[in-house]
Amino acid sequence: MKRIAILGSTGSIGTQTLNVARRHKELFSIELLVAGSNADLLVEQALEFTPNAVVIADKSKYAQVQQALDPHDIKVFAGIESAADLMSMSTIDIVVAAIVGFAGLRPTLAAVRQGKTIALANKETLVCAGNLIAREALAHHAAVIPVDSEHSAIFQCLVGEEPSQVDKLILTASGGPFLGRKAADLASVTPADALRHPNWNMGAKVTIDSATLMNKGFEVIEAHHLFGMPPDKIDVLVHPQSIVHSMVQFRDGSVKAQIGVPTMETPIQYALTYPDREESYLPRLDFLQHPTLTFLPPDTDTFPCLKLAYQALRKGGNIPCAMNAANEVAVRRFLEGSLPFAAIPDFIASRIESTAFVSEPSLDDIMQTDSLCRQL
């Protein structure tokens, strides 16, 4: 029985993780649930899974959650700092890091420092502090297992392989809802348009990042930190069917691909059960339903966020953190209607250019970079 903490239990990854736990009650128990502000769903989840404790990050919702759960002997805490503190619970084996955005960094880092196994779904943690996380994971013997479908695919392709034999990593991208469009077509894009992802069921922020290709840029940076590959050995291919989740090319020219139906529950379950593979109740891939699989180069002229991410990775230091902060602000403003979709890349680029460079940032440097960039 593996005991699980879920950071971001009411979001897309969190709810799908609970789907996996629901199907495999003999394998998993839920020890801790952490939510942002969705108090109603957090209470519903807690009543079903009876964790040891829950955290509601929005302190104004504490009384509501406390009142609902007090009769059930479930401890209730408030504030994201409480989530970080609770990573020291000895009853936690695996931490599913699924809080979207920079907010997930502190509790994930706290879990790493406690030597927990991290099922990582929060891209921003490695984008902003990849080197720091790597050092701390090594020092505290914390395993980091990717949950993103692309990185899970690469992780699976690398099992049993020598890293020195890898020629390149190939991340696949669906292309998002605007695949094939040109820059002129994006001038009038609305949030509703951008949220219509053709293949994946994700939260609003990740879906917008997919539409701009920034999500794929984050994944390039994440792959660099997870697998130790330089930027020039990480390629991106647009694959509209989302059946090939990613690939690894080796020195002898062989290519391994991980293939499956487009659902996050498969990589979530793999991360939770690794190195074992447990029975899945999800539909199997029927190749006859997908007679054609296509691959295209990404259009970085129309979607320059991917290009920005490569540039930030090559610059290094605190620049990817600044890029992430600017992107989070840009996405929020777009969803609120105060920033056009087509203006997002220029908005991010201008904030990166105004960031004072720190070559080897500490956690304090990362926090300051994020704060200053958001203020700008």
Asked whether residue 257 is assigned to any structural domain, the reply reads yes
Separation in Å, CA 197 to CA 14, 43, 328: 19, 29, 19
Residues 160 and 296 placed together within one structural domain of the fold: yes
Q: Does 161 share its domain with 297?
A: yes
pLDDT at position 200 is: 67
What's the confidence (pLDDT) of residue 66? 97
Assess if residue 197 is contained within a domain.
Answer: yes
**Domain boundary pick from 276, 298, 315:** 315
95 and 223 together in one domain: no
Structural domain that includes position 79: 2-146
Residues 204, 117 within the same domain: no
At 159 the pLDDT is 95
Among 120, 146, 172, the domain boundary falls at: 146
* 83 and 169 assigned to the same domain: no
Within this chain, do residues 36 and 176 fall inside the same structural domain, yes or no? no
Residue 34 lies in a domain: yes
Q: Of the candidates 119, 146, 173, which is a domain's last residue?
A: 146
Per-residue b/e over 173-190, b at no fewer than 16 CB within 10 Å? bbbbbbbeeeeeebeebe
Q: What crossing angle do the helices spanning 149-158 and 214-227 adopt, rounded to 10°? A: 30
Same domain, 230 and 162: yes
Q: Is residue 369 part of a domain?
A: no
In a domain, 330, yes or no: no
> Is residue 12 included in any domain, yes or no?
yes
Average pLDDT, the chain: 95
Judgement on whether residues 124 and 158 belong to the same structural domain of the protein:
no
Count of domains for the chain:
2
Q: Are residues 141 and 185 in the same domain?
A: no
What per-residue confidence (pLDDT) applies to 101? Answer: 87
Report the CATH number at residue 136.
3.40.50.720
Instruction: Indicate whether 139 belongs to any domain.
Output: yes
Task: Indicate whether 164 and 56 sit together in one domain.
Answer: no
Q: Are 53 and 178 in the same domain?
A: no
Whole-model pTM? 0.93
Low-confidence ranges of the chain (pLDDT < 50): none
Q: Is residue 325 part of a domain?
A: no
Q: Same domain, yes or no, for 64 and 132?
A: yes
